[in-house]
Structure 1
Amino acid sequence: MQTTLSERCLWLHTSAEAPLKYPALNSQEEAEVCVVGGGITGLSTALHLAEKGIKVILLEAGEIPSGGSGRNVGLVNAGLWIPPDDIVAALGAEKGERANTVLGGAPSKVFGLIERHAIACDATRTGTLHLGHSSKGCQALERRLNQLQKRGAPVSLLTGEACEQITGTSKIHAALLDKRAGTLNPCAYTRGLARTATHLGATLYCQSAVTGIERQADRWSLLTQNGRVTADRVVMATNAYTEDDWNQVRQHFFTGYYYQLASQPLTGAAAEAILPDKQGSWDTRTVLSSIRRDKDGRLLLGSLGKGEGKPLAYLTRWADTIQNHYFPALGKVRWEYTWTGKIAFTPEHTLRIFEPAPGILSATGYNGRGITTGTVVGEGFAHYITTGEDSLLPLPLSQPKPIKARPLWSCAYEGGFSLYHAGQCLRVLI
């Protein structure tokens, strides 16, 4: 019986970037810009503003990181979740191709920050693999390949022996390799952004949840339990972890979840054959399975859905099923960690960047592409605030309509994910 599994996030325990202690706000402060949310979007915004000499204060409700920025899979993906032509269909030709271009170059922005500021986050730049688990999945990969190649992306489709060697399994029939992408430890990356932002002059406060916002003449006043920040501009970077009704970001996404399990460190020939170049990967299933290795040789498996509240035996049964299907030569694997993070979904599977009130900028709906999207949105916000020009953002500022029936969307997604995983555990779906 599994006895080693515990509900804790692997990335927090293996981060080479040490946790730094930031004080809580207990005074009245002034800033040119106040950023709400200490995840990747907020920290990228603060970092790039401080780099330009702007006085910026960031308010985080918990510690850094405490949300999805430290709990995701750690894939440095290029583009959005849906294929480029679907993005154009959803957004129109001009906006769609803009999103394709800006987000296609997002991994280089992430790796550039890591290199420039010596962020110790176990980054790899060997690409990512989208895994065709069936003939239908392989056809979808071919369509995506053609769309990406038409736009000049360095992608290739591997089949046969080359596919088996790069994935470590015979159960995958084709793998789409995107050389723009890579992996990292997301907790370490987020901590590194925070360290860099403070070094450049940004002021960070943790355990300082914003309880309300008020307009005062031509400025904004943000209230916390024990303090206040008055600023000319505000960036709401709370994304999937937005909880307060007064925060309009909440109206523009519905909550989804993603759970992961990590094994004990694995050694031996069978383990080393799995993703030998350390690409991050995910398959083409209706409800995907993600697969990657960490710096210590652990096998990480994950999928859409909420792991919290489910019996650990259920989670290990699911992980055993996926592992035995793809990598039977490993034999029995002992799972060591499991954790869940939130995702901000939108019905159209594209992000939203908007200005809910004069002087306030917001973004949400990353649909599982938070590392790269958050990084470039933060840089784009800083550029827009200092120049009035929005070309670095994946999309121009807009006024999207709130999503109707958000709880129903969330329930429908979570119910579908749970049924699919139950089918996998019962070996009805594989």
Structure 2
Amino acid sequence: MLNDPRSHGLWEKTAPAAPVTRALDGNVCADVVIVGGGFTGISAALHLAEAGRRPVMLEGAEIGFGGAGRNVGLINAGMWVMPDDLPGELGDVHGERLLDILGNAPRLVMELIERHGIACELERNGTLHCAVGEAGLKEITERAGQWQRRGAPVTLLDAVETAKRTGTAAYTGSLLDMRAGTLQPLAYVRGLAKAAIAAGATIHTASRVTDYTRSGSQWTVRTEGGSVTAPWVIVSTDAYSTGPWESVRREQVHLPYFNLATRPLSPHLLSAILPGREGVWDTKEILSSFRMDRVGRLVFGSVGALRNTGRAVHVAWAKRALKRLFPVLGTVEFECEWFGKIGMTDNALPRFHRFAENVVGFSGYNGRGIAPGTVFGRTLAQLVLGDIGAADLPLPLTDPKAPAFRPLKELYYEAGAQIAHFADERF
């Protein structure tokens, strides 16, 4: 994307074409201006258009340019934070609301895919959170118990069953979550965009916002090519925020994450590695993830950036790690490689923000973008429509707040991942 083969990798290679869009040229009026063309913004546009409103979206680059088009493609329920910890972080009301809405978020994703016929390689066979060592097993056992007490369809699997499902004996157990699944993320967000346009939304790409001002009850959001005036603004730029809402980017510590895709595996290998097509990630602090795409490419990822010295280090580590996990693979070569950035808040929880009257937005997927992005886009649309009020939101409306030592933390994450991957399985 934008002539960078390491921005979206396999997803750009295999996704259906994006809907035809153009840059904003001139001054227009709308019911809502949406800034940012990822899961949140496009979901909001779709739900607003289906409710009879006229949303206009402004995307600075292309549909799915940010995290929506670069992530692993796991449709997860919940967040990284343990379920029982959310009420302590957010209070009982918002904590339980957030657990409910995020626990059911994968269902909304799958319903939208079905209703709009989105071709995005959807797999409904769940995800496996795999335990590394006894500490990892203790973690997923506690997580399973907390979700089960809330009635969630999650199951704790032992090492033998985990090995059968993953194809490796590296794990002491796993947590199977049948609410979850996998998809091709860029294909999904492009499909959502097509559905939103068909419903009446207008999407302008290559239309980076430069500023916005208010006159009476109306906001005017400007780009180099024109402006959109509307009574409401939804800001959905998240980790890739620049310009007037750069405070959203400053609120987050960027964690780089890369993915590598093999060539399609043989039928014999596909019967041994992830035969059920679950998505997988582990409990390591510098975690790894893997899943299959529709034609049998193994997509393997971890923390790190494929730039400068990082590319050689991370690719070499990935080959060693795959050889350890799956000796049957033999020599591994990668067909595609790409990376992006995960926006982490200081408590690993998402936030809703009120930037000004009738200017609302979201911050901090913390590595869980597909299902939360889709459901939060719908939630922001419901707020604009008046179907819910601020007091009904699953998160309180807050102001952005920058964490201490953010640049140093980002440098630490990128450099630390290189050091860890260079040393891993060498010494």
TM-score by length of structure 1 reads 0.94
What is the alpha-carbon distance in structure 2 between the residues aligned to residue 109 and residue 217 of structure 1? Answer: 37
CA drift of 1:248 comes to 3.3
- Name the residue aligned to 1:406: 406
What is the alpha-carbon distance in structure 2 between the residues aligned to residue 44 and residue 401 of structure 1? Answer: 26
CA drift of 1:400 comes to 5.2
* Coordinate RMSD, CA, aligned: 1.7
- Name the residue aligned to 2:9: 9
What is the alpha-carbon distance in structure 2 between the residues aligned to residue 133 and residue 304 of structure 1? Answer: 16
CA drift of 1:57 comes to 0.2
Which letter does structure 2 place at the counterpart of 1:162?
E
Does the 8 A contact of 1:261 with 1:338 survive in 2? yes
- Name the residue aligned to 2:335: 336
* Corresponding position: 1:168 with 2:167: yes
CA drift of 1:404 comes to 3.4
Which letter does structure 2 place at the counterpart of 1:216?
S
Q: How many pairs were matched up?
A: 421
What is the CA deviation profile of residues 397-419 of structure 1, one whole-angstrom value per residue up to 9, with x for unaligned ones?
A: 23453433322332233233222
The within-5 A match list for 1:110-125 is 110-125=109-124
What is the alpha-carbon distance in structure 2 between the residues aligned to residue 128 and residue 318 of structure 1? Answer: 24
What is the alpha-carbon distance in structure 1 between the residues aligned to residue 215 and residue 109 of structure 2? Answer: 36
CA drift of 1:245 comes to 5.4
What is the alpha-carbon distance in structure 1 between the residues aligned to residue 259 and residue 39 of structure 2? Answer: 20
Q: Which moved more, 1:182-191 or 1:153-162?
A: 153-162
CA drift of 1:285 comes to 0.9
Does the 8 A contact of 1:262 with 1:301 survive in 2? yes
* Corresponding position: 1:422 with 2:410: no
CA drift of 1:393 comes to 4.5
- Name the residue aligned to 1:188: 187
CA drift of 1:360 comes to 0.4
CA drift of 1:95 comes to 1.8
Change in Cα spacing, 1:296 to 1:56, as seen in structure 2 (3 Å) is same
- Name the residue aligned to 2:103: 104
CA drift of 1:391 comes to 7.5
**Any stretches of 5+ residues in structure 2 without a counterpart?**
none
What is the alpha-carbon distance in structure 2 between the residues aligned to residue 356 and residue 345 of structure 1? Answer: 20
Instruction: For residue 223 of structure 1, give the secondary structure of its aligned residue in structure 2.
Output: strand
Does the 8 A contact of 2:34 with 2:235 survive in 1? yes
What is the alpha-carbon distance in structure 2 between the residues aligned to residue 81 and residue 382 of structure 1? Answer: 25
Does the 8 A contact of 1:28 with 1:228 survive in 2? yes
- Name the residue aligned to 2:130: 131
Which letter does structure 1 place at the counterpart of 2:75?
V
- Name the residue aligned to 1:84: 83
Q: Which moved more, 1:297-306 or 1:268-277?
A: 268-277
Does the 8 A contact of 2:314 with 2:418 survive in 1? no
Does the 8 A contact of 1:60 with 1:207 survive in 2? yes
Does the 8 A contact of 1:45 with 1:382 survive in 2? yes
- Name the residue aligned to 2:177: 178
Which letter does structure 1 place at the counterpart of 2:419?
L
* Corresponding position: 1:277 with 2:276: yes
CA drift of 1:122 comes to 0.5
What is the alpha-carbon distance in structure 2 between the residues aligned to residue 201 and residue 226 of structure 1? Answer: 22
* Corresponding position: 1:397 with 2:397: yes
Q: Which moved more, 1:47-56 or 1:249-258?
A: 249-258
- Name the residue aligned to 1:376: 375
What is the alpha-carbon distance in structure 2 between the residues aligned to residue 306 and residue 394 of structure 1? Answer: 33
Which letter does structure 2 place at the counterpart of 1:116?
R
Does the 8 A contact of 1:220 with 1:232 survive in 2? yes
- Name the residue aligned to 1:229: 228
What is the alpha-carbon distance in structure 2 between the residues aligned to residue 254 and residue 103 of structure 1? Answer: 22
Instruction: For residue 96 of structure 1, give the secondary structure of its aligned residue in structure 2.
Output: helix
Instruction: State the identity as a percent.
Output: 43
What is the alpha-carbon distance in structure 1 between the residues aligned to residue 330 and residue 245 of structure 2? Answer: 51
The within-5 A match list for 1:49-88 is 49-88=48-87
Does the 8 A contact of 2:282 with 2:289 survive in 1? yes
What is the alpha-carbon distance in structure 2 between the residues aligned to residue 269 and residue 391 of structure 1? Answer: 54
Which letter does structure 2 place at the counterpart of 1:163?
T
What is the alpha-carbon distance in structure 2 between the residues aligned to residue 245 and residue 29 of structure 1? Answer: 20
Does the 8 A contact of 2:351 with 2:396 survive in 1? no
- Name the residue aligned to 1:3: none
Moved over 6 A (4+): none
Which letter does structure 1 place at the counterpart of 2:409?
W
Does the 8 A contact of 1:308 with 1:339 survive in 2? no
Change in Cα spacing, 1:61 to 1:274, as seen in structure 2 (3 Å) is same
